[in-house]
């Protein structure tokens, strides 16, 4: 099975540029109801994933930082506590499944590490569920 089968292309993915502000991240997460968003640099390379927790910890641990001045903090200044490791577009299904155990989504990159989209855990689980259903309905006498 090819990663491209599950790929949600970049143009259909919500992401942020790494030089965006905390305020932009908070507003984008609130609007889309996401708890994590991929980050890319100016060249389009995947740079990590920012989470609600990362933003909250930055707010908590930065003296004088309050919501009204989060527009002054760049995401490059926010520590990423969880690493969503990307896979290559040429990755195997086993790679997707092993990453999906830990990650809600798996960023997908090309050979130059350019972010080309992502695969959600949901689609992987749906695929596995359908495959298991087919196995369970298989009867040896059906041949």
Residue 102's CATH number: 3.10.580.10
Q: Is 136 exposed, middle or buried (0-12, 13-18, 19+ CB in 10 A)?
A: exposed
The phi, psi pair for 61, rounded to 5°, reads: -100, 5
pTM of the model: 0.85
**What is the greatest pairwise CA distance in the chain?**
71
Whole-number average pLDDT of the chain: 91
What pLDDT was estimated at residue 97? 87
Residue 135: its pLDDT value, please?
A: 62
Domain that holds residue 61: 3-142
Name the band, by pLDDT with cuts 50, 70 and 90, for residue 58.
very high
CA distance 87 to 84: 10
User: Number of structural domains, the chain?
Assistant: 1
């Amino acid at each position: 099975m090819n990663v491209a089968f599950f790929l949600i292309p970049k143009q259909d993915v919500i992401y942020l540029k790494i030089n965006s502000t905390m305020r932009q991240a908070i507003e984008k997460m609130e609007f889309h109801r996401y708890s994590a968003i991929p980050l890319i640099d100016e060249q389009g390379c995947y740079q990590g994933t920012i989470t609600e927790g990362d933003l909250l910890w930055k707010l908590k641990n930065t003296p004088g930082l309050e919501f009204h001045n989060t527009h002054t903090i760049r995401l490059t200044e926010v520590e990423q506590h969880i690493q969503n490791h990307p896979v290559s577009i040429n990755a195997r299904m086993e790679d997707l499944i092993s990453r999906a155990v830990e990650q809600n989504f798996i960023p997908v990159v090309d050979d130059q590490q350019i972010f080309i989209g992502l695969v959600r855990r949901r689609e992987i689980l749906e695929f596995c569920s359908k495959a298991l259903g087919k196995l369970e309905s298989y009867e040896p006498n059906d041949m």
